[in-house]
Amino acid sequence: MTNRIQRYYQIIVIALGLMGAVWGQSPTIVSTTPSQNALNVSVNSTITVYTDQLMDAATIDTNTMVVSGNFTGLITGAYSTVDSSTTFTPSQPFMVGEKISITLTTGIQSGGGTPMASPYTWEFTV
């Protein structure tokens, strides 16, 4: 093997090793919109969660990203996952003064199939 080919081979092996380390780790929440304890959020707001990894969209639904309000109970809507972010668009506007709670369960998985290590919950007020 020439030095150039050996070097390319080493780079590929290192890259694959790093990818394996990331894919084997549980996804971590980087940020959310609205943020934890935000006040006076718009009634027409969407909810977005950002993670540190590509996510498996098939694992994010009403059972694993649970959105509920203290007035209305379980809130239905549409889920859209692109790369490392998931956005929930409610079917109806939120109610003014309502406290919205979002729970992400361990049923959510990264693109590599690794589940969240523990549930993650945050809330905001409309």
Residue 107 falls within a domain, yes or no? yes
Q: Is the pTM of this model over 0.85?
A: no
Residue 1 falls within a domain, yes or no? no
Residue 120 falls within a domain, yes or no? yes
Residue 63 falls within a domain, yes or no? yes
Residue 21 falls within a domain, yes or no? no
Residue 17 falls within a domain, yes or no? no
Residue 13 falls within a domain, yes or no? no
CATH number at residue 68: 2.60.40.3710
pLDDT(61) > 90:
yes
Total domain count, the chain: 1
Question: What value does the mean pLDDT take over residues 95-111?
Answer: 97
Q: Which of 15, 29, 47 is nearest to 108 (CA)?
A: 29
The residue segments making up the domain with residue 80 are: 27-125
More confident residue, 17 or 76: 76
Q: Give the lowest-confidence range in 7-21, 44-58, 60-74.
A: 7-21
| Band of pLDDT at residue 24, cut at 50, 70 and 90 | confident
| Band of pLDDT at residue 11, cut at 50, 70 and 90 | low
% of the chain at pLDDT higher than 90: 80
Which DSSP state fits 55? Answer: B
Calculate the alpha carbon distances from 105 to 14, 34, 60 in Å.
32, 18, 9
Question: What value does the mean pLDDT take over residues 26-38?
Answer: 96
What are the strands of the beta sheet with 77-82, ordered from one edge? 29-33, 47-51, 85-90, 77-82
Mapped onto helix, strand or coil, the DSSP state of residue 6 is: helix
pLDDT(47) > 80:
yes
φ, ψ of residue 3 to 5 degrees: the values are -60, -40
| Residues found in the chain | 126
